[in-house]
């Protein structure tokens, strides 16, 4: 069992840290809003700290899961940041979905202090975090990965080292590119079914057994048809991820015409007040035809 710190007890971090405690690791948590850290300790035991630095002291592994690049820098760097508290040889495992650039930057800063760094974004959403079945895509050096992997298994179904620092974030970008085009395709298919006067549920039931099958189709078609968008990853988060990956594509030369278009469609959803709707809300832009 390891001494672990967990920084960022949001929708994802709270249950992930909980799995570590349940597995018997000695966990110290930090959260900017301290009431959430106190609630976590009430539920899972362990300790809470008043700064990331304090949480990281003595920890062999420090996990983080905050919002974006700037949030990550604010909990990792500086006088009260995690790196300042970590002991040489310890490894920082960052589960935030952030840029590959910030991952490379933090890997350098960690190495200067004889610390390890792994970028390890996750896929699987809130349900995956709660059920401990996340997919974890990791970038960094193998010796650090080998130490962190058995601990990450507490909340993962799939963990893989993808390459040097930044490779975890790049793999997560691949994931988000898949999802963007796929959800727009599903939204258009459902919209077409409605415009054609078909029973949308029946149409989805039939095609879900053929080549059009997908996780999004299986799990979201009913709520999309019902116009309910309270089921997971928020549009604001998706636009953050799309902005990161479109920026990466500008640098590596990848052409992402559909992804760029879907990003603009999500901007429309934000303009409709759907910032916190889930990503399947793309269908809300498509008005049923007048018949």
Ligand X SMILES: NC(=O)c1ccc[n+]([C@@H]2O[C@H](COP(=O)([O-])OP(=O)(O)OC[C@H]3O[C@@H](n4cnc5c(N)ncnc54)[C@H](OP(=O)(O)O)[C@@H]3O)[C@@H](O)[C@H]2O)c1
Residues in contact with ligand X by the rule CB under 6 A: 8-13, 31-33, 36, 65-67, 71, 74-75, 96-97, 122-123, 125-126, 232-233, 237
> In whole angstroms, how far apart are CA 159 and each of 39, 103, 126, 145, 283?
29, 18, 17, 10, 32
> In whole angstroms, how far apart are CA 6 and each of 47, 136, 164, 215, 277?
10, 16, 23, 30, 27
Specify the residue, 63 or 151, whose C-beta has the smaller distance to ligand X.
Answer: 63
Nearest approach in angstroms of CB 7 to ligand X is 7
Q: Is 82 exposed, middle or buried (0-12, 13-18, 19+ CB in 10 A)?
A: buried
Specify the residue, 58 or 70, whose C-beta has the smaller distance to ligand X.
Answer: 70
Specify the 3-state DSSP secondary structure of 87. Answer: coil
Nearest approach in angstroms of CB 285 to ligand X is 21
Nearest approach in angstroms of CB 231 to ligand X is 10
Nearest approach in angstroms of CB 134 to ligand X is 8
Contact assessment for residue 230 and residue 278, using Cβ atoms and an 8 Å cutoff: yes
CA angle centred on 115, ends 63 and 152, rounded to 5°? 30
Residues labelled as active-site residues: 172
Q: Which helix (H) or strand (E) holds 238?
A: helix 235-252
Nearest approach in angstroms of CB 50 to ligand X is 12
Specify the residue, 168 or 232, whose C-beta has the smaller distance to ligand X.
Answer: 232
DSSP letter, residue 287: P
The CA distance from 80 to 60, in Å, is 18
Contact assessment for residue 235 and residue 269, using Cβ atoms and an 8 Å cutoff: yes
Specify the residue, 125 or 181, whose C-beta has the smaller distance to ligand X.
Answer: 125
Specify the residue, 6 or 145, whose C-beta has the smaller distance to ligand X.
Answer: 6
Contact assessment for residue 111 and residue 89, using Cβ atoms and an 8 Å cutoff: no
């Amino acid at each position: 069992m390891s001494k672990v710190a967990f920084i960022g007890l949001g929708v994802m971090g709270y249950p992930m840290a909980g799995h570590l405690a349940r597995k018997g690791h000695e966990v110290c948590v930090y959260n900017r809003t301290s009431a959430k850290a106190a609630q976590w300790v009430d539920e899972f035991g362990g300790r809470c700290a008043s700064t990331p630095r304090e949480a990281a002291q003595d920890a062999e592994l420090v996990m983080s899961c905050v919002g974006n690049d700037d949030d990550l820098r604010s909990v990792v760097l500086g006088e009260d940041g995690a790196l300042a508290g970590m002991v040489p040889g310890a490894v920082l495992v960052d589960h935030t979905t952030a840029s590959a650039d910030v991952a490379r930057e933090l890997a350098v800063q960690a190495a200067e202090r004889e610390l390890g760094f792994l970028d390890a974004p996750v896929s699987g959403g809130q349900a995956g975090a709660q059920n401990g079945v996340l997919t974890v895509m990791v970038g960094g050096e193998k010796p650090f990965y080998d130490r962190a992997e058995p601990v990450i298994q507490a909340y993962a179904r799939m963990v893989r080292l993808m390459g040097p620092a930044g490779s975890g974030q790049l793999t997560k970008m691949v994931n988000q590119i898949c999802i963007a085009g796929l959800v727009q395709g599903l939204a258009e298919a459902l919209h077409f079914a409605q415009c054609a006067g078909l029973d949308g549920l029946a149409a989805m039931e039939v095609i879900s057994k053929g080549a059009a099958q997908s996780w999004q189709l299986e799990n979201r078609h009913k709520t999309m048809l019902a116009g309910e968008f309270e089921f997971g990853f928020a549009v604001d988060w998706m636009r953050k991820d799309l902005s990161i990956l479109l920026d990466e594509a500008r640098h590596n030369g990848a052409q992402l015409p559909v992804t760029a278009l879907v990003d603009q469609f999500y901007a429309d959803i934000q303009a409709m007040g759907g910032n916190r709707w889930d990503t399947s809300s793309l269908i809300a832009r498509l008005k049923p035809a007048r018949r």
